[in-house]
Amino acid sequence: MTLHHLLSALRVHSAPLAGACLALGAAQLSLSVRFLLRRLKESAEPARDFSPSVCVVLPCCGAGEGFDENVRAFLGQDYAGRTEFVFVTPGQDDPAWGRLERLLPPSDARLRLLASDEAPARCSGKAVDVLFALRRASPEAEALVFADSDLRVRPDWLRRLVAPLADPSVGAATSLMLYRTGRTSVPSLLRSAWMAAGIPYLESAGVASGQSLALRAADFERLKIAGLWSRSLLEDLALHPVLRAAGLMTAFVGRAMSVSEESTGFWDLLKLTNKWLFGFKVYVPSIWLLGLLVTLAKTYILLWSVRPPVSWGLLALLFAMDAANLWVLSQAYRVCLCDGRGLGAGAILLAPALQLVYAVNFVASFFMMGVRWGRYRYDVFGPQDVIAVPGRR
């Protein structure tokens, strides 16, 4: 069937826009298929036998849904090497402190619980807590691992995440969380689709994520990462240009992916996604610009489609390409996650609505000069030019 016949069957009256829609859809689908193929190849490879001594730093601020189960999952790691877990909170008045006191066995020498009681000035509160923990961690660790406390990790998470560091050309190993919800609330489903759609782009660009991040301790010292983080809003994105300048790769570890099944509302969804896009504008502007151009193109097609008379065929084409892309990615995440589950059908069917979220994200991030995160407002004047201003939650 020729493009002319296809457009006629769909009652699409603009061949250039339909061609642009197909081209955009084919490009994103190609990226997703390659992502799926890499995950299939990765799953077929045996795990590397590499277990250096590790210090796992877990900053905890607040105690959300599933916090206790998440902590138990971290402590239940199947890892052959020496391991130290350092849990750090902003203070003993934080809700996470009391929960951790009850959860962490006092007799386990691997575990440390710290409260930084330090206020950020030129970086994020999370970076302050992480650096505080590192100054008090054992200096014997050969690898440093950083993770968010809202992850539900698998038993082999640590072993798989650290393994790529056996390759000296790899400077960081990373993985991400898949937001996955059984709830039918639209914001939760949109968050699931938003994260799922973005992960392949981060992998292709070699961008590390602080959700799960492993570095060699020697590289951390040599590249002066502590100094970098002491001046950064988002410590993971700040790593990207430093690793590239050092000629080091970032390895994405699909088999170390974790999940989160927290619920969310529309406002929390936009706060989270706006912060991410603002972070890319500051630290990895090439990704931000590429996303902006794609979003502008798709938004134009969408607006043209709904003007009278409505071009239902073009709308169907745009929506079908986005849904097909998320379906392919769902198959990739089924390969990554040990329970064999991917995205729910609700998240896939809401793929077309992502354009509205992206549009809000890019408009907001374009005008943003900082973010409100936890107890602070962070004014950002450059990648390493941050001022923390205390404020109310």
Categorize the per-residue pLDDT at 391 as very low, low, confident or very high, splitting at 50, 70 and 90. confident
CATH 3.90.550.10 location in the chain: 48-269
Name the helix (H) or strand (E) containing 168. none
- pLDDT on residue 63: 84
How high is the mean pLDDT of the chain? Answer: 90
pLDDT in tens, 227-283: 999 999 999 999 999 999 999 999 999 999 998 877 888 999 999 999 999 999 999
pLDDT at 12 over 70: no
Dihedral, 264, 266, 267, 272 alpha carbons, nearest 10? 60
pLDDT in tens, 306-338: 878 877 788 888 888 999 999 999 999 999 997
329/321 Cα distance (integer angstroms): 13
Burial 119-134, CB ≥16 within 10 A → b, else e: ebebbbbbbbbbbbbb
Distant-in-sequence, close-in-space partners of 64: CB < 8 Å, separation ≥ 6: 150, 262
20/13 Cα distance (integer angstroms): 13
Name the helix (H) or strand (E) containing 72. helix 67-75
- pLDDT on residue 219: 97
* Structural domain 48-269, CATH architecture: Alpha-Beta Complex (3.90)
Categorize the per-residue pLDDT at 182 as very low, low, confident or very high, splitting at 50, 70 and 90. low
Phi, psi at residue 76, to the nearest 5°? -95, 30
Average pLDDT of span 95-107: 92
